[in-house]
Structure 1
């Protein structure tokens, strides 16, 4: 049964500007845990330690941008689709800037995340069935448009296609340039495309030779693979977000849920800091990049912490149910020549990167010292 809303669209939120100084300022951790193989180490920016998590930066940026353009009136409601992480960020931004927040989730949203979103004052709808085309994302967006049409003065940030999403991560880039003396390789999970698009430009201006690796989910259509039902949430997409800067990536990796779970659990045991699906995926690829390019400085972003995943990634029964505890984990990614050459089902790598609808003329970067691994 779909959860109903109690949001009063005429109610004006009360802004709490004291929250805004809590945004960002997250630490950088050195990760040396074998994932699963030894590596020289990489840097991870711990966004779980910032108020509202990583996507609070994007949420505040999108609402501020809309207010400046007159698209969002003072105290007007904000309505958005979310798989969880942006919802927390919008709950933070709504409190800080004085806007009630209504979120469209789905029945795959973890019970703990539902409770957390409501505890932070967000109102929540849940859709019960995925769309035939576009899956849960398309179903959430269809419901969002219905709710938007009957909610006076409501604003939809449209995180997938809003340039202010990427602009919100300028502060992350500034922090990284202050925390690192040099950077050779940046590893980014890709979902809406916001944080990768927001980081690449400023970091390449600081370090022009920077190589960027995108990390996608098996079953995601972002980089040209066919869309399939995905167990992993927080990265990947069944639609085509315009925020993804496809041409800025030097290569892309697809990671499956078993490898992400293994990396998350190893991080928790060996580095104490860990997270969910996106964190496990980028950690695996970052460790690989550090291993195959000796001496390279590698950095990534851990988007959130482990708490919302206690019933999935860190739950033995869940992992047994989905066969995540019996999979043979590869030592290195399988390399494919083009995103549409073969449908990948596990960790894979491609150096011909284009958009999901790009024909087979995508740019192939020059080889580097780690190409054989």
Structure 2
């Protein structure tokens, strides 16, 4: 058992909000890369703190979780803070730089070599996680996809935003596990009850009713249905493809000196579109992390050419009348939100 280092928790959060140019106007972005381990450190600390308070996570017990990478950084930090070893179930597509970083942090890695035929890498990782839990007495699984403490971890972010931003009319939020959007919306609507929420998903994700397909982008979208997603919170959804996200990331970096990953590029694209389309509204988004994980992918010309990501990208989304009216192959938008069973939840035109 390693000694807890609770002082590390003071390094999480307290991130700035900056204006990002969009045409003749701008939108506001909260830069989570300014916090150690990025945005998902908030969720990791929240889930482990709550588990400790309930007695679900005993002192020194092992934390085991599935991740495509970013949450793992948060869990590595939280594990050090609480004195708990961390084992991450990752997949063969995890970047070499992330593997090296996890190794440096003393995190145990279980690498899944083959995707599940229907549930992709996520399902394959979760299947392996179940085996590890059975073989590790006393281990704790945060279950980021179905844990209300995930969303609760963003209450502090919401409080920071309310102090930093005079008014917000639209929140543009990337959706993966569903935690940060649910947590932010719940808190921000207590201050701004008419806040419109625009979800940003990945092409090939099934969260909002599209078919699951292999996805190049990591940390955005899902091949399973996370129970943390609060469908009633959303007023519209956009699906973004990897070519659009790469172009958006590189444009953001060139114009502002601010760079990030797939979720940053996707939300920047949609936030900028909303700000230009409705210049009277105050648009707010969150950039979850910085560029370092993506230097060999998004910001690598050879990698992008190999994946045909420099093709011409659209400047407006394809409009879908229903979430499943057609398969989104690139940037698409729908103003009708349905839960996974097909029930209409909310619509905005």
* Residue number in structure 2 paired with 1:180: 165
- Deviation (angstroms), 1:116: 1.0
Partner in structure 2 of residue 310 of structure 1 = 295
Residue number in structure 2 paired with 1:363: 346
TM-score, normalised on structure 2?
0.98
- Report the Cα offset of residue 187 of structure 1: 0.3
Structure 1 distance, partners of 2:194, 2:345, is: 20
Are residues 1:329 and 2:318 paired?
no
1:261 aligns with 2:246: yes
| Conserved? CA contact 1:39–1:290, under 8 Å | no
SS in 1 for 2:58: coil
1:151-195 Cα offsets, whole Å, 9 max, x none, are 111000000000000000000000000000000000000000000
Q: How does 1:186-205 map to 2 (within 5 A)?
A: 186-205=171-190
Alignment of 1:292-303 (within 5 A): 292-303=277-288
Distance in 2 (CA, whole Å) between partners of 1:334 and 1:205 is 33
Could you say which residue in structure 2 is the equivalent of 1:27? 16
Match for residue 95 of structure 2 among 110, 113, 132: 110
160-169 or 47-56: bigger deviation: 47-56
Cα drift, residue 362 of structure 1? 4.1
Matched residue, 2:43? 58
Aligned counterpart in structure 2 of residue 136 of structure 1, from 113, 121, 126: 121
Give the equivalent residue in structure 1 for 2:255: 270
1:351 counterpart residue number: 335
Q: Secondary structure at the match of 2:289?
A: coil
Q: Confirm whether residue 239 of structure 1 aligns to residue 228 of structure 2.
A: no
In structure 2, distance between residues paired with 1:115 and 1:299: 34
- Structure-2 residue corresponding to 1:3: none
SS in 2 for 1:274: coil
- Aligned CA-pair RMSD: 0.9
Structure 1 residues not aligned, in runs of 5+:
1-11, 368-373
Task: Choose which of 146, 150, 169 in structure 1 pairs with 2:135.
Answer: 150
Is the alpha carbon distance of 1:142 and 1:122 closer, same or farther for their aligned partners in structure 2, counting shifts above 3 Å?
Answer: same
- The offset of 1:363, in angstroms, is 2.8
Q: Which runs of 5+ in 2 are unaligned?
A: none
Kept in 1: contact 2:65–2:88 (CA 8 A): yes
Distance in 2 (alpha carbons) for counterparts of 1:258 and 1:40: 25
Contact 1:39 1:287 in 2 (8 A): no
Q: Which residue of 2 aligns with 1:282?
A: 267
Give the CA deviation at 1:39.
4.7
- 1:8-23 residue pairs with structure 2 within 5 A? 12-23=1-12
> In 2, distance between residues paired with 1:341 and 1:190?
20
Q: CA–CA distance in 1 between the matches of 2:66 and 2:46?
A: 17
Q: Kindly tell me the number of residue pairs found equivalent between the two proteins.
A: 349
Contact 1:39 1:288 in 2 (8 A): no
Give the Cα separation in 1 of the matches to 2:285 and 2:346.
Answer: 23
Deviation at 1:117, TM superposition (A): 1.4
Distance in 1 (CA, whole Å) between partners of 2:18 and 2:103 is: 31
SS in 2 for 1:160: helix
Partner Cα separation in structure 2 for residue 213 and residue 61 of structure 1: 25
The corresponding residue for 2:153 is 168
59, 63, 68: which one aligns with 1:78: 63
* TM-superposition CA deviations, 1:65-112 (whole Å, max 9, x none): 111111110010000000000000000100111110000000110000
Q: Structure 1 length normalisation: TM-score?
A: 0.92
Mapped to 2, the partners of 1:56 and 1:239 lie a distance apart of 22
Which protein has the bigger helix share? 2
Verify the 8 A CA contact 1:185 1:297 in the aligned structure 2.
yes
In structure 2, what is the Cα distance between the partners aligned to 1:252 and 1:362? 12
